[in-house]
Amino acid sequence: MDFRRDVPALAADARSPSVLQQAGIDHPQCRGVIAVTNDDQANLAVAMTAHLLNPQVQVLARTATVRATENLVSIGTEQIVNPFEKFADYLVLAMREPGCYRLIDWLIGVPGARLRAERTPPRGDWVICGYGRFGRAIESRLRQEKVSVRVVEPRTDESGNRNATVGAGTERQVLESAGIHLAEGLVVGTDDDIANLAIAVTAREVNPDLFVVIRQNSAANQVLFEAFEADLVMQPSEIVARACLAQLITPLLMRFLQHVKRQRDHWADNVILRLRDRIGEATPLTWDVRVDTAEAEAIVPCLRSQPASVRLADLLRDPRQRRASLHCEALLLLRAGRETVLPAHETTLAEGDQLLFAGTAGARRLQRLILQDANVLSYVQTGRNVPGGWIWRQFGRSRPPGRAPASGRGA
């Protein structure tokens, strides 16, 4: 809660239309509504209110059940995040193509994190402790992969799984009855962090070679989960936050990630190597660029006067020294609805293009100079300085070529 600026807030019931109106849901400047409570009905109420009072606004909603998802879809909500289903998809992707999962995990990682080592979930027997929404999602995906699954649940009459082993999972004999000593994978997915850790610790005592997937519900318990060192940790709130930020800030990233899911390991490994050579192993920043007068003020006039006069390579040069490269890479080009993944640096740009970049914050700041300043653009293209004002043009006549312009716009 250590905000850098004042954040307006209302302590009120978000299900009330009057409260949402007070918050500004129907205000002309409202650009988006994010409904991410842990109550599906509350999220549906917020989405419905937005749909009726401001149909043009962008809505992102969290859901935990199939029924809630269907209700949200029925009112036109296109961006829906189910953290349990999304993680189940990622687990299966890691099982099929671990390199692809590793690339996705890196691109949507928490700022400050680093590229993780590749881990491949085994395809042998699995045990799932906790047959709630998360456990059901995991079991469904694993069975689709023809993976053998055994469930541990305190009350089988409520879970509906007749083959479940009855117990909390913290008892050694219950885990052994479920076959934990022969299993290769374990999913611990209750809504109690301490219980999840107790189950995982007990299971590893019986079978130290287990591949452990554990659910973390509260960020306050981070130090405990780090000490346990699970193979994969599922945090619902983090998954929702990553998905929402990607949709709002870099919508092209979601297109690129969908492409990654369809690729094979060797392709993903090459992309990781290409990015790592450019930016290192820290989680990259991703950003979108639209070639228009608002975001690329310097480029659009060049393209209008001389089409194909600007190349992608021009946006990857360092405006301080054009022979050096910025610490970033282009991941996707969207032109007239057509996607080009990892576009070649020699690609010529066109007005209306949308580009997805991954790199460092410093690279993004320097790239903005190229996009917005005609003098800087001229320098990275030709190596010649073109001073902007009359006085600077007089000085520029005697300035040696090859140095970056001292000012963006001149006098």
Q: Cα(229)–Cα(232) distance, rounded to whole angstroms?
A: 8
User: Does the structure show a pLDDT above 50 at 61?
Assistant: yes
Q: Cα(187)–Cα(209) distance, rounded to whole angstroms?
A: 14
- Amino acid identity of residue 313, one-letter, is A
Q: What is the mean pLDDT of residues 123-144?
A: 94
User: Does the structure show a pLDDT above 90 at 155?
Assistant: no
Q: Which of 316, 322, 385, 380 is nearest to 345 (CA)?
A: 316
Looking at the domain that runs over 17-81, which CATH code has it been given? 3.40.50.720
Residues 163 and 151 sit within 8 Å (Cβ to Cβ): yes
User: Does the structure show a pLDDT above 70 at 396?
Assistant: no
Give the model's pLDDT for residue 245.
83
Looking at the domain that runs over 84-241, which CATH code has it been given? 3.40.50.720
Share of the chain above pLDDT 70, in %: 91
User: Does the structure show a pLDDT above 80 at 407?
Assistant: no
What is the domain partition of the chain in residue ranges? 17-81, 84-241, 285-396
- pLDDT for 63-93, tens place per residue? 988 889 999 999 988 889 999 999 999 999 9
- pLDDT for 256-292, tens place per residue? 999 999 999 999 999 999 999 999 999 999 999 999 9
Give the model's pLDDT for residue 350.
96
Which CA distances in Å does 129 have to 64, 112, 155, 169, 170?
A: 18, 32, 12, 6, 9
Query: CATH topology of 17-81 equal to that of 285-396?
Result: no
Take residue 270 and report the two structure tokens written for it. 């090459």
Q: What is the mean pLDDT of residues 349-371?
A: 96
Confidence of residue 158 (pLDDT cuts 50, 70, 90): low
User: Does the structure show a pLDDT above 80 at 159?
Assistant: no
Give the model's pLDDT for residue 7.
83
User: Does the structure show a pLDDT above 50 at 410?
Assistant: no
- Give the residue, 378 or 5, on which the prediction is more confident: 378
Q: Which of 250, 280, 291, 268 is nearest to 342 (CA)?
A: 268
Average pLDDT in the chain: 90
- Give the residue, 400 or 348, on which the prediction is more confident: 348
Give the model's pLDDT for residue 404.
54
- Give the residue, 401 or 79, on which the prediction is more confident: 79
Tell how many helices (H) and how many strands (E) occur in the chain.
Answer: 17, 15
- pLDDT for 165-207, tens place per residue? 998 889 999 999 999 999 999 999 999 999 999 999 999 999 9
Give the model's pLDDT for residue 85.
93
Give the model's pLDDT for residue 235.
92
- Cα torsion at 321, 322, 328, 333 (round to 10°)? 160
User: Does the structure show a pLDDT above 50 at 408?
Assistant: no
Give the model's pLDDT for residue 389.
53
User: Does the structure show a pLDDT above 80 at 156?
Assistant: no
User: Which residues, 6 or more positions from 101, have their beta carbon under 8 angstroms from its beta carbon?
Assistant: 90, 93, 94
DSSP string, 64-123: -SHHHHHHHHHTT--EEE-HHHHHHHHHHHHHH-HHHHHHHHHHTPPTT-BPPPP----S
Give the model's pLDDT for residue 6.
85
Give the model's pLDDT for residue 162.
62
To the question of domain 285-396 being in CATH 3.30.70.1450, the answer is: yes
User: Does the structure show a pLDDT above 90 at 336?
Assistant: yes
Q: How many CB atoms lie within 10 A of CB 374?
A: 18
